[in-house]
Amino acid sequence: MASFLVSWSITSTSLAKQSHFAKRNPRLRVSCEKNQTEISHENFDRRNLLLGMGGLYGSSNLLSISPALATPIEAPDFTKCSRGTNLSTGQPLDVNCCPPLSREIIDYKLPPVTRMRFRPAAHLATAEYIEKFETAVELMKALPDDDPRSFMQQANVHCAYCNLTHEQVGASDLRIQIHNCWLFFPWHRWYLYFYERILGKLIDDPTFGLPFWNWDNPEGMFMPAMFANSYSPLYDARRNVYHLPPAIADLSYSGKDAKHPSKIIPHNLTLMYREMIRHARHLEDFYGAKYSTGSKPNPGPGTVERGSHTAIHSWVGEATRTGEDMGNFYSSARDTLFFSHHANIDRLWTVWQDFRGPKAKHFTDSDWLNTTFLFYDENARLVRVKVGDTMDHIKMGYDFQKVDIPWQKKKPRAHWKKSKVASTSGAPSADSIFPIKLDKVIKVLVPRPKKSRSKRDKENEEELLVIEGIDVDTATFVKFDVFVNDEDDDPYVLDKAEYAGSYSQLPHKNSSRVKTKIRLGLTELLEDLDCEDDEYILVTLVPKAGGDDITIGGIKIIYVS
């Protein structure tokens, strides 16, 4: 156990915070004598103590904190926004996403809801609504460039929070990334909330709501026509011209058009079932992995983020290596379609919460609830908001048009039951080949620590396949698919139970190597395959994009209650 001394002046307030912090971290001991405090912690890195503003976090002179000392991500200090350098080449970035500065920051309180904002399905929007939407966007684009509500400044908000532009307060060697973690849903909800209110104020309509692109419904699985009109302010020239209407959006898009176009819709529906039901029984699996001060970016994306969300971004973006606008994180919000795409993501969050019934619908971890961000509101005021205020969209003053949910009953069927492929494949065991580069199809036998589980066992614990140590360069679009006990070996057939899921990542302007993980639900899948008594499963990893740049660290099965 490491031990060291740190000196600073201690106020009664900071002592109270330290005492509270120690209670939350029983292995942390804090004792005070005059102007020095001794802190002991198992495996404690002396870089990781954060002092200064806000108690035990906030000092820009110290580096990062260990996971055991995690604290909520704090709203960034805009005065320290950095245009940055490419972390791979060391060259300055050719894009500046830094926001305008303000002398005052207001702690935002949700205003009383007197009139609801209505978000229509884009494919059902009336001509009157479309005209209103176009007028609002045109007025936003006409605002001065230095107005924080202007079109490009609003686009830069997304760029700054996802392109490693803002320092973590209290961990200045790390940057904020709101993707591939548990902040994905709440951050984007706040982003759309203010974007919508800005548009509404510009047209003096407090009931105006953004349209949602209903791409999880066959009736809405094409680019909404209002965005494909080249004379409209909603149009973006940097889109894949082969994916304009009437092309059907591919929710499993991997950078190439589907080999079997007629199967896109059934693939889409079973994919949504996996993302929203089969793999989304635990909060972490739906929202993404925990991310707090001192955490490195990309701890692990949730089901929707790594699947349909990324696929739509890439499918819309320009058919180039970097995929502007929608196909690259830094530029995606330059396309008005981004906001309708994410309005549907926001809607899916509410759908998933409705499915949960009395079960927990969000984290109770204070590191999530107390995470804060900065946005400019419709009055150009810089406001500080909390994740904890995003739990109920109705309390935030908006609601969605009711539409059918056809994928709810589209459970994929097994092509093979009681398959013996695991015992006859001759594949190596999982503990013998990793880490390994995913430059070809990889087959591996993964042992199951528990088999023949009872109904109660399954209710108490979900069996999960964990693919960890996924090492990728964030400058590259990557995707791989995962199959379990698949005898067909056809990587283009996805509407079957043997298809377990995928990992995908959009490229970033500011590139760096990251390590992340995904978790895939096995309980229902193994029931469908009728192989619950098997000691091993055969896992097949199929690279679909960027495989030469993907390394897998390991695969295992865990059980989570």
Could you tell me which residues are annotated as the binding site for Cu cation?
A: 158, 179, 188, 309, 313, 342
Active-site option among 166, 243, 313, 508: 313
- Beta bridge partners, 59, equal none
Residue 139's identity, in one-letter code, is: L
Please, are residues 82 and 99 in contact by the beta-carbon 8 Å criterion? no
Please indicate whether residue 20 is annotated as part of the active site: no
Active-site option among 309, 362, 393, 415: 309
Active-site option among 123, 243, 279, 342: 342
How many other β-carbons are positioned within 10 Å of the β-carbon of residue 32?
12
- Distance (Å, rounded) from C-alpha 175 to C-alpha 439? 30
The DSSP string of 260-310 is SGGGHHHHHHHHHHIIIIIT-SSHHHHHB----TTPPS-S-B-HHIIIIIH
The DSSP string of 450-466 is S-S--HHHHHH-EEEEE
How many other β-carbons are positioned within 10 Å of the β-carbon of residue 193?
24
| Residue found by looking up tokens 């089901």 in the block | 303
Please, are residues 505 and 457 in contact by the beta-carbon 8 Å criterion? no
Residue 547's identity, in one-letter code, is: G
Please indicate whether residue 313 is annotated as part of the active site: yes
Cβ-count burial of 406 within 10 angstroms (0-12 exposed, 13-18 middle, 19+ buried)? middle
Active-site option among 158, 166, 243, 341: 158
**Closest by alpha carbon to 239, among 123, 156, 323?**
323
HSE-up (13 A, CA, CB side) for residue 287: 24
Q: Where do runs of H (alpha helix) occur along 89-183?
A: 127-142, 151-162
> Strand locations in 340-476, DSSP E?
372-376, 382-386, 398-400, 436-437, 442-447, 462-473
- Distance (Å, rounded) from C-alpha 339 to C-alpha 361? 24
Active-site option among 123, 188, 393, 508: 188
Active-site option among 41, 123, 166, 179: 179
Show the CA angle centred on residue 546, arms to residues 422 and 414, nearest 5°.
30
- Distance (Å, rounded) from C-alpha 207 to C-alpha 227? 21
- Distance (Å, rounded) from C-alpha 522 to C-alpha 355? 19
**Residues within the annotated binding site?**
158, 179, 188, 309, 313, 342
Sheet holding 382-386, edge to edge: 106-107, 382-386, 372-376
Active-site option among 212, 227, 286, 329: 329
HSE-up (13 A, CA, CB side) for residue 247: 17
- Distance (Å, rounded) from C-alpha 526 to C-alpha 213? 33
| Contact residues for 518 (Cβ-Cβ < 8 A; gap 6+) | 300, 301, 306, 466, 467, 470, 501, 503
**Closest by alpha carbon to 173, among 46, 291, 62?**
62
Q: Take residue 526 and report the two structure tokens written for it.
A: 């193994």
**Closest by alpha carbon to 384, among 397, 392, 374?**
374
- Distance (Å, rounded) from C-alpha 127 to C-alpha 343? 20
Please indicate whether residue 342 is annotated as part of the active site: yes
Residues with a catalytic annotation lie at 158, 179, 188, 309, 313, 329, 342
